[in-house]
A and B are shown apart, each in its own frame.
Chain A
């Protein structure tokens, strides 16, 4: 109710023409306004289904414009305290049937469990790396970007409002509470009502722009907002990752026993 009230006020403000579309404005924080934390919590708590399966096409492009394309069939299921994810590589041909499984725990201080199955080695192996700041499969996403970061990990401030692709957005700055985090701060553009992040800037420890995520397309699938196409440009490495999702199916009731080491070796 509080949120709706705040939105109503905001809409009135916009309608009155006090806020221009071009630049973020400082917001008068009144009792009716949502806090930055509330906005981020809205994103965090946005329903995204119990399970999902989709085909991910990941295109990696380096500064010289060389590209690599990977096609991955992925399955995800929310188990409450743990989210399990399984990925099977379809192409390139020499890594076909390589599979990757990730168990990500809701508890803040529990590290993810990760396994990989290499068909040429015919073995499932655990993999571990110390830093969530490592890039995922050579993309511009860190493992941390892929998991949902708990809103309580940062302090959030609303910087203002801005339209992105003609949709009104809140601009929220998030500064990590813990010191040794991979980003100095992030700025997210959150579409109001839908609670989808459509743009995000990442800054490094020295407050220099590190990378930008741009959501090129998000769709309503089975009543959930799903980001289907995004581009991440790592400014400092001059490297780009394009992620596109097809054949998306939500809430199909993927079996719980799909996410096991044995299933990893089955292949496609």
Chain B
């Protein structure tokens, strides 16, 4: 290995050409085939029973996420102008290619079911826009008397009305979003128009997140470059270290494109991982060279490069292989984008390893030693410098062993307790600023109407006609009433609402008959009646043709997991009661799928974290030929992971797809630190045979490089704290935090444990 690498290093230009060739090949692959996957459904594990069921139910009942347009008129909506706008906007939406006719619900389209002495009357509220006071007043009274419309389409204070347009799956695009915004803008004044709904929230996020990243990434890279230059004290070394990161990222995305795998949202975390992990190799290799130059002044570039490889190839290979294996453990995830994330990050880490071992020494041979003159001059002027700090720090840790252990135990225990409080959140809305338009609009509509988010409860029986049975219907109705008691559930809608309404109007609007009809026959006949008198399309969103399945829509005030789970909690109380009637309870809808999805990711993440810990223990035990090495080596990872989850739990930061993945950094970085330090410790122990001298050497050599590595990455990612997009701020904080804990864990408690267990000192 050493010989192969050395011979390559001696032909630097050959190395450059080869690396360039491979890079160009990957670049061509990437340029031709790179494809972003924006369809959220593509992320879902399609064979998961909950998803299969939800997808089926969405098809049975035509469940789609709706765009909600709210029209507000401060003096009330019952005037000719506003009603004309409702009509025109409805018609314009209906004409849109992406919206099916009949998928737009507004005061203009909705049926008004009313009763009279001798019968039933189903009409639209208006078709010609009412003009006279008399007509307007009749409309107002009609809405007030109809609780299927009042509070659902028109707010109780009569100043806001909604137009809901359901969108087919995947229909949402940026263009569409802007079309809708332009459309509503044209209707402004004196009415105010608001646009909300899950497609809008999802769409805006898909648009904002990369836009924010595009702005932040150059700054992050700039800071990293600056700090790296400061630490390495050489533009050449900085250039090559960064080149390794950039090329390994390019290779990774090139391979992805070449294999025809699209870029998923989580794949955007790959560069983050590669920056955090990839710069480590360069820093350690250059660090080793720097120290070597200091002890052997006047060394030639060729010898320096040779020493870089000789001293560092082993730890670099060890850290990279263990890191890669850690990421490969993500293949156990149920979610494809996560599998790909693990696979490709592993590939990126291995690319960074190869590039570091080949490109960096070749660079030294071709362009000379980094800042040779200046570095030695400075070293002479400041004989101790940061090395002194490193050694002194090692001494302090040795002196306060008991304190170190005690503090670690306390931190880990508190973190573990915090970690139990952690909660998963699949909310899209909570990713926005509290005072952003999208959040304010959502709150505005939630305050006046049932809710902008939905949960679909699907009742399913093997018995055709089960949904006509009064006992089933009564239980449905009870469940709706019970769930509406929750603050989070603003409204609910189902088959029972139709039947209660028809029953009431067929009994001359007598409130005593606002109940589920007495017999299944009457239910069937009412529904036939409804079909005869109205537009039955909307009915089939609540029940299937065989009356074996029914869909109840709960309107929620938020799309966060706590809200959805509370609603599910109430529904679950009814599960045994429904089961007694031979009816099973299931869920559907995008909010529910998001919840399940996030849960799957989290469970997969924890599973793969534990699995990778196991693998790493084995690998390290084999590499260092002792089990203690494996056990000691995973200390930084374990502590980082526990503290990371603990801090999130204590600060109430919910786990989401991205935040869960950040814990992978703990593996990648924690392992690097531990292995570099242990390897140096081993070498020094063998040479000196003295604990104090060994620690001093390891601190001086690895500890310093580890700290530089941490400082570079932390500085870079702290920049994200100034991001305009809250999830990116969390990302910045968590990456920095992870780096810091990994650093601290390695140079404190791991050192103490090594000393206490007489690591490499007992024969």
In the bound complex, what is the Cα–Cα distance between A135 and B540 (angstroms)?
14
B536 at the interface (CB under 8 A from A): yes
B524 at the interface (CB under 8 A from A): yes
B144 close to A (CB within 8 Å): no
- Is B208 an interface residue, CB under 8 A from the partner? no
> Which one of B60, B521, B535, B537 has the highest number of Cβ atoms from chain A below 10 Å of its Cβ?
B521
Q: Which residues of the partner chain A approach B510 to less than 8 Å between Cβ atoms?
A: none
Chain B residues positioned under 8 Å from A131 (CB to CB)? 123-124, 127
The segment from A41-49, A63-71, A249-257 that touches chain B is A63-71
Residues of A close to B40: CB separation below 8 A: none
The reply to whether A236 and B101 contact each other, CB–CB distance below 8 Å, is: yes
Q: Are A119 and B521 in contact (CB under 8 A)?
A: yes
Partner of A62, one of B95, B465, B531, B545: B545
Interface presence of A219 (CB below 8 A): no
Q: How many A-B residue pairs have CB under 8 A?
A: 101
Partner of A128, one of B121, B517, B521: B121
Which of A14-22, A93-101, A185-193 is the interface stretch? A93-101
Asked whether any CB of chain A lies closer than 8 Å to the CB of B627, the reply is no
- CB-CB < 8 A to A95: which residues of B? 521, 524-525, 528
Assess A125 versus B120: contact at CB under 8 Å? Given A66-B546, A94-B468, A136-B532.
yes
B122 A120 Cβ-Cβ under 8 A: no
B534 touches A (CB below 8 Å): yes
Are A125 and B119 interface neighbours, CB within 8 A? Answer: yes
Tally of A interface residues using CB under 8 Å: 37
Contact between A138 and B102 (Cβ–Cβ < 8 Å)?
A: no
Residue of B whose beta carbon sits closest to that of A239: B537
Q: How far is the CB of A210 from chain B (nearest CB, A)?
A: 9
Residues from chain A with Cβ under 8 Å of B529 in the complex: 116, 118, 125, 127
Contact of B95 among A121, A136, A138, A206 (CB under 8 A): A206
* Closest residue on chain A to residue B465 by CB atoms: A94
Per-position contact with A for B118-145: 1 when CB-CB < 8 Å, else 0?
Answer: 1111111001000000000000000000
Chain A stretch 127-165: residues in CB contact (< 8 A) with chain B: 127-131, 134-138
| B525 touching A119, Cβ below 8 Å | yes
Across the interface, name the chain A residue whose C-beta is closest to B122.
A129
Asked if residues A134 and B521 are in contact (CB atoms below 8 Å), the reply is no
Asked if A194 is at the interface (CB within 8 A of a chain B CB), the reply is: no
Interface contact B525-A121, CB-CB below 8 Å: yes
Question: Which of under 10, 10 to 19, 20 to 34, or 35 or more describes the interface residues of B?
Answer: 35 or more
Task: Flag whether B519 is at the interface (Cβ < 8 A).
Answer: yes
Shortest CB-to-CB span from A136 to chain B, Å, is 7
Secondary structure dominating the interface of A: mixed
From B60, B468, B519, A64 is in contact (CB under 8 Å) with B60
> Would you list which residues of chain A between 193 and 213 have a CB under 8 Å from chain B?
204, 206
B522 beta carbon closer than 8 Å to chain A = yes
Whether B465 contacts A129 by the Cβ 8 Å rule is: no
Q: Is A5 an interface residue (CB 8 A)?
A: no
Give Cα A125 to B545, complex, Å: 25
Judged by a CB distance under 8 angstroms, whether B29 is at the interface is no
Q: Is A262 an interface residue (CB 8 A)?
A: no
Distance (Å) between the CB of B55 and the closest chain A CB?
13
B524 and A92 contact, CB distance less than 8 A: yes
Q: Which residues of A contact B545 (CB under 8 A)?
A: 60, 62, 66-68
CB contacts (< 8 Å) of B526 on chain A: these are 118
Closest chain A residue to B536 by CB distance? A138
A126 within 8 A of partner (CB): yes
From A64, A67, A127, residue with most partner B Cβ within 10 Å: A127
Contact in complex: A118, B531 (CB < 8 Å): no
List the B side residues contacting A120 at CB < 8 Å: 517, 519, 521-522, 524-525
Please state if B532 and A127 are interface contacts (CB–CB under 8 Å): yes
The closest CB in chain B to the CB of A66 belongs to B545
Q: Is the CB of B119 within 8 A of A94?
A: no
- A127 lies within 8 A of B525 (CB): no
Whole-angstrom CA separation of A114 from B121 in the bound complex: 11
Q: Is B544 among interface residues, defined by CB-CB distance under 8 A?
A: yes
Q: Is the CB of B546 within 8 A of A135?
A: no
Interface residues in B74-131 (C-beta closer than 8 Å to A) = 95, 100-102, 116, 118-124, 127
Is the pair B524, A134 in contact by a Cβ cutoff of 8 Å?
no
A28 on interface, CB distance cutoff 8 Å? no
Let me know if A126 and B118 touch, CB within 8 A: yes
Residue of A nearest to B526 (CB): A118
Docked complex Cα distance between A126 and B400 (Å): 92
- For residue A183, give the distance in angstroms from its CB to the closest CB of chain B: 14
Selected from B100, B127, B506, B537, the residue in CB contact (under 8 A) with A130 is B127
CB < 8 Å: which of A62, A98, A129 contacts B533? A129
State whether the Cβ of A180 lies closer than 8 Å to any Cβ in chain B: yes
* Given A119-B525, A237-B102: A127 touches B535 (CB 8 Å cut-off): no
Within 8 A of A (CB), among B520-566: 520-526, 528-529, 531-537, 540, 544-546
Q: How far is the CA of A69 from the CA of B130 in the complex (A)?
A: 40
Find chain B residues with CB under 8 A from A237 CB: 102, 537
A2 to B16, CA, bound (A): 94
Chain A residue contacts of B127, Cβ below 8 A:
130-131, 180
Task: Name the contact of A137 in the complex, choosing from B95, B116, B118, B528 (C-beta under 8 A).
Answer: B528
Asked if A134 and B535 make an inter-chain contact with CB atoms under 8 angstroms apart, the answer reads yes
Name the distance in Å between B521's Cβ and chain A's nearest Cβ: 4
Question: Which residues does chain B contribute within 8 Å of A98, judged by CB atoms?
Answer: 525, 528
B59 at the interface (CB under 8 A from A): yes
Query: Does A127 contact B533, Cβ atoms closer than 8 Å?
Result: yes
Is B123 within 8 A of A121, CB to CB?
no
Contact call A129/B522, Cβ cutoff below 8 A: no
Bits for A100-127, please: 1 = Cβ < 8 Å to B, else 0.
Answer: 1000000000000011101111010111
With known contacts A62-B545, A137-B532, A128–B60 Cβ distance under 8 A: no
B95/A94 in contact, CB under 8 A:
no
**Cross-chain pairs A/B with CB under 8 angstroms, 16 sampled:** A62-B540, A64-B59, A94-B523, A94-B524, A95-B525, A115-B119, A118-B529, A119-B525, A120-B522, A125-B506, A125-B529, A128-B533, A129-B121, A130-B124, A131-B123, A138-B531
> 8 new A-B pairs (CB below 8 Å) besides A95-B524, A120-B525, A134-B535?
A95-B521, A116-B119, A118-B525, A118-B526, A121-B506, A126-B119, A129-B533, A138-B531
Question: Which B residues form the contact surface with A (CB < 8 A)?
Answer: 59-60, 95, 100-102, 116, 118-124, 127, 465, 468, 506, 517, 519-526, 528-529, 531-537, 540, 544-546
What 6 A-B pairs have minimum CB-CB distances, sorted nearest first? A126-B119, A120-B522, A94-B524, A125-B119, A66-B545, A130-B123
